[in-house]
Amino acid sequence: GHKSTHDAFDDICATGEILLYAVKHDILPVRDVCRSLISRHIRNFAPLAEAVNGLRCKLADMRPGRMVVETITRLGIDKYYQREPGRMENLRNLVRQARQLDKEELSGYDAMQSFLRLMSLSNTELDLMLQEKPRIPIITVHQAKGSEFDTVFMAGLQEGVFPSKISLVHESLDEEARLFYVGITRARQRLYLTAAMDRGSVPCRFINAIPDEFLDREP
């Protein structure tokens, strides 16, 4: 009943309707089956639950950097991704960020809460961070929803990157188009759309959906 208006309150109303529909049509009809499956397999998750509870008990005293390392190693995340160099580098970056953004004047628990808020890029925390030390935030279009900036650069807008190869193969472009819309509407004043010019790349098709009167194309 709620059209997409890019308005936060409309998003909330639409989400509420979706949840009510999901409960009625997708959750309640299979609740007994779900309960049976949970009862049958719950013991398999006991070691994981014990590990998470152990980490939770350490939150009060452990600094964010150390807590991230403990989480990665104790839950076996590092072993799971050990054959994927890109993923391992992401984990190392996460540890570095946890150490760099550690607010030492706070308790371990409060510092971890602050770190998690910064990682979610909430508007208030991001603004405070930028005020303390001016910097250029580099984020994904998924993370950008809800934030706004005077100037936005969207990079890598070529076919096969955005939209991705997978979406092109499966012809599932609706989600990619939605993310493109989210990205371009983050800019208050200036928006720069960039694509590679080598290796025979083709600019993102979504750019052509923008009326020429709003574009200043560079050769």
Smallest CA-to-CA distance from 204 within 152, 162, 147, 145 is with 162
**Torsion from C-alpha of 66, 68, 73, 76, nearest 10 degrees:** 170
Separation of alpha carbons 23 and 28, rounded Å = 6
Neighbouring-strand partners of residue 158: 203
The average confidence (pLDDT) of the chain is: 85
Q: Under a CB-based contact definition with an 8 Å cutoff, are residues 112 and 64 in contact?
A: yes
Q: Under a CB-based contact definition with an 8 Å cutoff, are residues 49 and 59 in contact?
A: no
**Residue 215 in this model has a pLDDT that exceeds 70:** yes
DSSP letters for 84-132: -HHHHHHHHHHHHHHHHT--TTS-HHHHHHHHHHHHTT-HHHHHHHHHH
Smallest CA-to-CA distance from 157 within 213, 216, 202, 209 is with 202
Amino acid letter, 201: S
Tens digit of each residue's pLDDT (9 = 90 or more) over 37-53: 999 999 999 999 999 99
Tens digit of each residue's pLDDT (9 = 90 or more) over 53-106: 999 988 888 999 999 999 999 999 999 998 888 889 889 988 988 898 888 888
Which domains does the chain possess? 138-219 (3.40.50.300)
Residues in contact with 59: Cβ distance below 8 Å, sequence separation at least 6, in sequence order: 67, 108, 109, 112
Tens digit of each residue's pLDDT (9 = 90 or more) over 123-158: 555 565 656 666 677 788 877 777 778 899 999 899
